[in-house]
């Protein structure tokens, strides 16, 4: 089967990426090809010794979002030093032509490829003509704030501007992690929590957040995401009980029985709104009283979000942000 291949990192799967993928699907249909995404893991910069930004969407999440947009396959090419050493000709011949059956290749205006980024758009077009595939360069998508980019999304996350993240991506920002054994202090004060450790995603400012939580079951072939519960999350260093060196995420789930066994489960935590900053309390009684107040606020926030945008349906994870 012929393939229309969109190449890129697609971290965050923001509105600019969505535009590219919509074009990919449309052109693939016109040409009788399968629309696919080609991305790379690990990040090329990490392999080549460059500083890399915090991820917005881990690989499994990126694949899930890309496939929800009508893409037939999200192909992950392992990026290592051997792959980085490929000449532009070898990159095209072995990967795009012989490996993937490229009929059309879509790339950004600044696309470079091959050893030491030797290949550019002119190189790709020349190789496409020789190997029988078309090349399309997608325009950069912009809004009033400038070009849509993963960098802008990271900046909004770091600033705690959740509404800006929604405007750029069409989704609530999210963190994920596998539930691990903690100190279980939450159980002793009436608010058991799922401890996710330090999420790998780019983090917003420390604080208490209203959240909606999904469970994630991933295999090599698919990801199944199921809504679990609304809740309230503390992100930070837990100063009341002894400050952690790295920020950790702990989630109290409203609709999950206190004795539920979630250890080893991967959770996806959607940030609905910030309740307050992280604080140090004089003791556990004061902390418990504040959490009770946080729960009231978080319930109201999550109910308002659900009323505005419906359920968090993983079959359609995007919503349009109203001005």
Is 100 a residue whose pLDDT tops 90?
yes
Distance of alpha carbon 264 from alpha carbon 219, whole angstroms: 15
pLDDT in tens, 259-288: 888 999 999 999 999 999 999 998 999 999
Average confidence (pLDDT) over 195-219:
93
Task: pLDDT band for 315, please (50, 70, 90 cuts).
Answer: very low
pLDDT of residue 228: 87
pLDDT of residue 274: 97
The CATH superfamily label for domain 172-309 reads: Riboflavin kinase-like (2.40.30.30)
Closest CA to 206 of 239, 176, 181, 171: 239
pLDDT of residue 150: 96
109, 125 Cβ separation under 8 angstroms: no
Is 1 a residue whose pLDDT tops 90?
no
* Distances from the Cα of 247 to the Cα of 110, 187, 280, angstroms: 36, 20, 14
253, 231 Cβ separation under 8 angstroms: yes
Q: Give me the half-sphere count of Cα atoms (radius 13 Å) on the Cβ side of residue 110.
A: 2
pLDDT in tens, 41-89: 999 888 988 888 999 999 999 999 999 999 999 999 999 999 999 999 9
Is 192 a residue whose pLDDT tops 60?
yes
Of 11-15, 161-165, 199-203, 222-226, give the lowest mean pLDDT range: 222-226
Mean pLDDT score of the chain: 90
Q: What percent of the chain has pLDDT over 70?
A: 94
For the chain, the domains span 3-143, 172-309
> Cα-flanking dihedrals φ and ψ of residue 296, to 5°?
-60, -45
pTM: 0.90
Tokens 């920002």 — which residue? 173
* 3-143 classified as CATH 3.30.1490.20: no
């Amino acid at each position: 089967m012929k393939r229309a291949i969109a190449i890129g990192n697609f971290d965050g799967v923001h509105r600019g990426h969505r535009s590219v993928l919509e074009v990919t699907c449309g052109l693939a249909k016109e040409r009788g090809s399968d629309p696919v995404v080609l991305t790379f893991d690990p990040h090329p910069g990490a392999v080549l010794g460059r500083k890399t930004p915090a991820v917005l969407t881990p690989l499994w999440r990126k694949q899930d979002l890309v496939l929800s947009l009508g893409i037939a396959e999200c192909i992950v090419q392992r990026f290592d030093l051997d792959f980085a050493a490929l000449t532009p000709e070898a990159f095209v011949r072995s990967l795009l032509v012989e490996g993937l059956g490229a009929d059309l290749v879509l790339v950004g205006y600044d696309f470079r490829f091959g050893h030491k980024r030797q290949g550019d758009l002119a190189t790709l077009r020349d190789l496409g003509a020789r190997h029988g595939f078309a090349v399309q360069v997608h325009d950069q998508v912009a809004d009033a704030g400038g070009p849509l980019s993963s960098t802008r999304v990271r900046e909004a996350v770091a600033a705690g501007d959740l509404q800006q993240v929604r405007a750029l991506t069409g989704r609530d920002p999210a963190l994920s992690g596998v539930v691990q054994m903690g100190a279980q202090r939450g159980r002793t004060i009436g608010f058991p929590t799922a401890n996710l450790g330090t999420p790998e995603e780019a983090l917003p400012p420390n604080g208490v957040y209203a959240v909606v939580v999904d469970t994630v079951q991933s295999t090599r072939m698919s990801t199944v995401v199921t809504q679990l519960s609304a809740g309230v999350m503390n992100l930070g260093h837990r100063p009341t009980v002894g400050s952690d060196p790295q920020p950790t995420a702990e989630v109290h789930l409203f609709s999950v029985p206190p004795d539920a066994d979630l250890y080893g489960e991967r959770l996806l935590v959607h940030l609905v709104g910030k309740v307050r900053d992280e604080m140090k309390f004089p003791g556990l009684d004061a902390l418990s009283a504040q959490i009770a107040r946080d729960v009231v606020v978080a319930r109201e926030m999550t109910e308002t979000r659900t009323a505005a945008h419906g359920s968090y349906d993983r079959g359609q994870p995007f919503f349009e942000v109203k001005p």
